[in-house]
């Protein structure tokens, strides 16, 4: 039984490694067989060469460093604000009613449309880019916090009322343990959104960053550089997401006992 399970785990891991490799191989075969002209489908070697070039010149590292720094700031500010907003909206019906329509409407407008206005308010330096990322990170966290807190079974609040549980311990002993999973999944979504929007925002306005590298690649008809950007974006985003999932597992393990105790 246990041997079979180990085998399955190994199989699973090897399949998960093999499938991207298979895609890579298919890409290589397609481009080597010249099914499409090289201007249309860049070969993996060309992408690798461009990658080597960008790494050797330090250009990639510089762009990536800038992007990650922006991500850190924008994500922290945005998801922090989202957490507070979600909590306030969940706990105070008046607050929710005041801001809900604005919140829902703003959420639905792509940040691209706001760029002139954002420039007006925040200038064109780093603050501007961080605000764009923060906007993207804000909504998923706010939404899932709201839902997480709202999704707590009614009975728990009734029990808390019967026992006259004070607000701080209601928050600490009941709300947090019950809502952390939902909130964290929202924060995870925020991280992904922040990363996606960061690159997108850099495509439009920036002097550096991985998005700008891709945009210049497009302007300069260097599709190998664009492809390097696509691959790097995917890999970095994947790593960020995986890292967050590991962190999440850790956090939830730590929270497991109080949650049980409170319930």
Partner 1 sequence: MSFFTRRFGLAVAAAFSFGAYLALRPSPEQPVAPVDVPRSEAARPAAAGAPLTTLTIAAISSPHQGQQVFSGATQIILEQGWLEAELARRGVALKIEPVSPAVGGPQINEGFAAKRIDFAAYGDFPALIAKAGGVDIRTVLSPGQGNNAYLVVRKGLAAQSIRDLKGKSIAIHRGRPWELTFAKLLDANGLTLNDFKIYNLNPQAGHAALAAGKVDATFTLSEALVTEQQGAGRIIWSTKDAPLHWKMRTGLWARHDFTDAHPDITTLVVAAYVKAAHWQAQEENRDRVLQMASRGNLPVDLIARDYDDPRVGWKDRFSPLLDGFYRQHFSDVAEYIHANGLVQKRVQVEDIIDDRFLAAALRDLSAGGLPLDGYWTPQAEQKVAAR
Partner 2 sequence: MSAALRSYGAGLPARIALGLLVPLALILLWDHQARHGGEHAFAFVSAAQVAGALRELWQSGDLLTAYGNSLRNAFGGLFWGSVTGLAVGSAMALLRPVDWVLTPLYHGLRQVPLLGWLPLIGLWFGSGDLSKVIVVSLSAFYPAVLYTYEGLKGVEARMLEVGQLYRLTPWQTFWRIRWPSALPSLFTGLLQSVAFAWIATIGVELLFPTGFGLGTVMQHGQLQARLDIVVVCIAVVGLTGFAINLLVARLSRHALRWRPVRT
What residue ranges bind partner 1 (CB under 8 A)? 36-41, 115-117, 119-120, 123-124, 204-207, 212, 216, 218-222
Specify whether the CB–CB gap between 197 and 133 falls below 8 A: yes
Q: Which residues touch 160 (CB under 8 Å, ≥6 apart)?
A: 170, 174
Q: Which residues touch 156 (CB under 8 Å, ≥6 apart)?
A: 174, 178, 263
Does 192 bind partner 2 (CB under 8 A)? Our answer is yes
Q: Least Å distance between CB 229 and partner 1?
A: 14
Residue 85 or 128 with smaller CB distance to partner 1 = 128
Does 12 bind partner 2 (CB under 8 A)? Our answer is yes
Q: Least Å distance between CB 103 and partner 2?
A: 8
The dihedral built from the CA positions of residue 161, 162, 167 and 172, taken in this order, carries a sign that is: negative
Q: Which of 137, 143, 138, 244 is nearest to 198 (CA)?
A: 137
Q: Least Å distance between CB 261 and partner 1?
A: 32
Does 234 bind partner 2 (CB under 8 A)? Our answer is yes
Q: Return the range that interacts with partner 2 (CB under 8 A); candidates 46-54, 160-168, 230-238, 251-259.
A: 230-238
Residue 58 or 123 with smaller CB distance to partner 2 = 123
Please identify which residue in 147, 171, 216, 252 interacts with partner 2, judged by CB under 8 A. 147
Q: Least Å distance between CB 222 and partner 2?
A: 10
Q: Cite the DSSP H helix spans in the chain.
A: 2-32, 44-56, 59-91, 93-107, 111-122, 126-150, 154-162, 167-169, 176-204, 210-219, 223-262
Within 10 angstroms of residue 186's Cβ, the number of other Cβ atoms is 26
- 64: its two tokens: 């990536």
- 158: its two tokens: 């009734």
* Interface residue list for partner 2 (CB under 8 A): 11-12, 15-17, 19-20, 23, 40, 89-90, 93-94, 96-110, 112-114, 116, 120, 143, 146-147, 150-155, 157, 192, 195-197, 199-200, 203, 211, 214, 217-218, 223, 226-227, 229-230, 233-238, 240-242
């Amino acid at each position: 039984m246990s041997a079979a399970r180990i085998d399955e785990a190994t199989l699973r891991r090897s399949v998960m490694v093999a499938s991207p490799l298979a895609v890579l191989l298919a890409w290589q075969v397609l481009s080597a067989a010249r099914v499409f002209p090289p201007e249309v489908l860049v070969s993996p070697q060309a992408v690798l060469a461009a990658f080597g070039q960008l790494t050797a010149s330090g250009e990639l590292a510089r762009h990536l460093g800038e992007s990650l720094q922006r991500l850190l700031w924008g994500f922290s500010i945005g998801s922090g604000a989202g957490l507070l907003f979600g909590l306030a909206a969940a706990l105070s019906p008046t607050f929710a009613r005041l801001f809900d329509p604005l919140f829902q409407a703003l959420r639905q407008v792509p940040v691209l449309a706001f760029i002139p206005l954002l420039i007006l308010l925040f200038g064109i330096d780093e603050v501007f880019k961080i605000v764009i990322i923060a906007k993207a990170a804000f909504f998923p966290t706010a939404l899932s916090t709201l839902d997480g807190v709202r999704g707590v079974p009614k009975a728990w609040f009734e029990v808390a009322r019967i026992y006259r549980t004070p607000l701080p311990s209601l928050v600490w002993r009941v709300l947090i343990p019950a809502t952390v999973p939902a909130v964290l999944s929202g924060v995870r979504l925020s991280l992904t959104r922040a990363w996606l929007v960061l690159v997108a925002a850099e495509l439009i306005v920036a002097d550096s960053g991985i998005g700008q590298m891709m945009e210049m690649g497009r302007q300069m008809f260097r599709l190998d550089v664009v492809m390097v950007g696509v691959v790097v974006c995917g890999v970095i985003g994947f790593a960020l997401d995986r890292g967050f999932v590991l962190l999440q597992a850790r956090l939830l393990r730590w929270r497991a006992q109080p949650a049980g105790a409170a319930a």
